[in-house]
A and B are shown apart, each in its own frame.
Chain A
Amino acid sequence: MSEDISQETLHQLALPWLTSLKPGHRFNIFRDTGDYYRIEYGDIVILNNVPYLVRHNAKEGRFGLDDEVKFWVKRAIDLKTGKTKILKLVFYEKFLARVGGIEFECFRSPRKEARILNLVGNHANFMHGFSVPDNQGNIVRIIDLIYGNTLADQVRDMASGMNHETYFYGHFPAILDSFMECVEAIRFLHEHGEKHGDVRRDHIIADRDTGRCRWIDFDYNFQHRENMYGYDLFGLGNVFMYLAGRGDVLIADIIKANSPAALELRDEDMNIVFNNRVANLKKIYPYIPDSLNRILMHFSRGANIFYDNTIQLLDDLNELRSGFAGRQGGIQNGT
């Protein structure tokens, strides 16, 4: 049942966050979130009788599109609890994604993300939240903010100024543990008939509070062909390649550095989809174990067998992990 929330009440609730609020200020109140462009800083969105004070639109830095504003994603304050939340409003889009020259139809699905939020509950390796319909039935996802950097940024920062061998023996085992948790989390989704849909390294946040890596953004979906989970596995392979290489190992950089490895690399050593990335990292870093390189080679152009599921990948990761000494732990604890 709908409850009216007066302007005066909103004024009192919002005052801690809007210190320059003038007496008599009237908030714009939205119960229908369909036209998300109209919802701006300082507006109120009421969902399930809870008022949310909108702060600003979220931005996403990816693939050179730094600070691309996502108008359908709002950072907001839950005025009943004072907690910061992310409101993901309904934004439908269907488009042709293009990966390695292959096109496939993708679409955004608020319903999928809502379903997965419900499925994962308090699982430590996913973002948390819930969904609620606005007064027009739009499925709004209300998500807890995660404080932290992406796993990729952490790796980049921690390895800055360090040679790969030092990184590999000093930091990689803990990163591997975190990555394996991420793969386990994707396995959990797959076991429940869900795909993540957009597995990439900037969708893993290393939570500053818990030290655990957490998947974000589950609203992408696509019409799969034979293997429903193949695209997720492809994403996991790319993340793993990045972590093992301490970044993307690009053929152009190897040539530029006059590395002798440039003469050793063949077509079959490259990433199966991204032809400028080296998959066969053992040719660049000879000390990495065969058990690691074998995993990487499943994602190479020379692969004649692919992973069908995360269980197969986890089996190989466990074998790799058993070769490293040291306790298992989160990325922050272990480094």
Chain B
Amino acid sequence: MEHDINRNILIAVDESDNSRRAVQYVANILGGVKGFKVTVLHVIREPEEDFFHAEDEKEKWYQDYGRKTDRMLGEYRQLLVDAGFDIEDVSIRKTLRYCPSMAECILAERDSLEYGTLVVGRKGLSHKEEFLFGSISGKIVRTARNCTVWVVE
């Protein structure tokens, strides 16, 4: 009996090199293969209100960050299209969320949109960095359910 295969792929990115490698990996593996749809996602972590002294500072941060995110996502989309994805099969998404845990925010996005595969880059944190601040990819691997996770180093 043949199972339905969910061919929707979610790549969670930020502006790091490891995210670029994750997008590049998907491009290399699946570029030109029909039937896959890719969404490149960036979760904007809503900064804590304490981070800004004034409302205008906050507004400026959101504007600057939004522009930077649009540029980054646009570049990633183009990278996938250049590798052979049809432009209509590549979407980009940015979302602003309050994220005590970024991994949980990314997984919540995956859950709501039911992607079969989640792709993330791995930063290669030192042991003590992971201890102090946690690892997004590590937590995703530990806690993801009902999907396949690709961690690209």
Which of A's residues lie within 8 Å of B, judged by CB? 92, 99-100, 102, 104, 107, 109, 111-112, 193, 221, 223-231, 234, 272-273, 299, 301, 303, 306, 308
Contacts and interface: CB of A to CB of B under 8 A. Distances in A.
Given A107-B50, A112-B50, A221-B48, A226 B102 contact: yes
Contact of A226 (B47, B101, B127): B101
Interface stretch (B31-39, B110-118, B134-142): B134-142
Given A107-B50, A226-B102, A306 B128 contact: no
Interface of B: 47-51, 53, 100-103, 126-136, 138-139
B36 to A, nearest CB: 28
B51 A224 contact: no
Q: Which 10 A-B pairs have the closest CB atoms?
A: A226-B134, A227-B134, A109-B50, A225-B133, A228-B100, A112-B50, A226-B136, A221-B50, A230-B134, A272-B128
Given A92-B53, A111-B50, A225 B131 contact: no
A306 B130 contact: yes
B136 A273 contact: no
Nearest to B50: A109
A234 B132 contact: yes
Which interface residue of B53, B127, B131, B135 has the most chain A CB atoms within 10 A? Answer: B131
Which interface residue of A225, A301, A308 has the most chain B CB atoms within 10 A? Answer: A225
B99 to A, nearest CB: 8
B52 to A, nearest CB: 9
18 contacts: A99-B132, A102-B129, A107-B50, A111-B49, A112-B48, A112-B50, A224-B133, A226-B103, A226-B134, A226-B136, A230-B131, A230-B133, A231-B132, A272-B128, A272-B131, A299-B131, A301-B127, A303-B131
A303 B134 CA distance: 14
A112 B134 CA distance: 23
A225 B127 contact: no
A102 B100 contact: no
A272 B49 CA distance: 31
Given A102-B128, A273-B128, A303-B131, A228 B101 contact: yes
B135 A226 contact: yes
B128 A225 contact: no
A147 B50 CA distance: 30
Contacts of A92: 53
Given A226-B102, A228-B101, A273 B131 contact: yes
Nearest to A109: B50
A109 B48 CA distance: 10
Contacts of A229: 100
B133 A231 contact: yes
B108 to A, nearest CB: 15
